[in-house]
Structure formats: structure tokens, C-alpha cells
Amino acid sequence: MDKVTAQVGTILKVFVSTLLALMITNGASVLEMSSWNDWKPYVAAGIAAVIVWGYNYLNPVEKRYGVGAE
């Protein structure tokens, strides 16, 4: 797995998992798109979760990608 694939994988995993978790806790149906009237909190939560990628990128101990990658 190259560095770009690892980065994209991390971003997608945390974004989608946070989005699903927020949907479940708010009682929104995953398959019912009409309940997505206010989509901004979902996107904001996903973006906040992507901060994990930024942390991993700047972490010198992280060997998959970023500052600590060889």
C-alpha cells in the first residue's frame, strides 16, 4: 500500500464512520434521504473526524505517511 492510498483510506474511513455514527445517534435513517433536511451537522462531524488524518500526517511516529514516513 503506497502512501497516497493509506492517506485516502484513512480520510474515507473516519469520514464515513463518523457520518454513520451521527446519523444513528440522531435517529436518521441511512436509506431515507428525505430525513437529511439539515445535512450541515453531518458534514461538519465528518470534517472534524478527518482531523485524524492531519494528526497522523504531522505525527513523526506514524510510519505509513506524512512527516515520519520514510
Per-residue pLDDT 10s for the chain (70 aa) are: 677 887 888 888 888 888 788 777 777 665 665 665 677 777 787 788 778 788 888 888 888 778 887 7
How many Å is the Cα radius of gyration of the chain? 15
Three-state SS annotation for 6-69: HHHHHHHHHHHHHHHHHHHHHCCCCCCHHHCCCCHHHHHHHHHHHHHHHHHHHCCCCCCCCCCC
pLDDT value at residue 4:
81
pLDDT value at residue 69:
77
The predicted model scores a pTM of 0.59
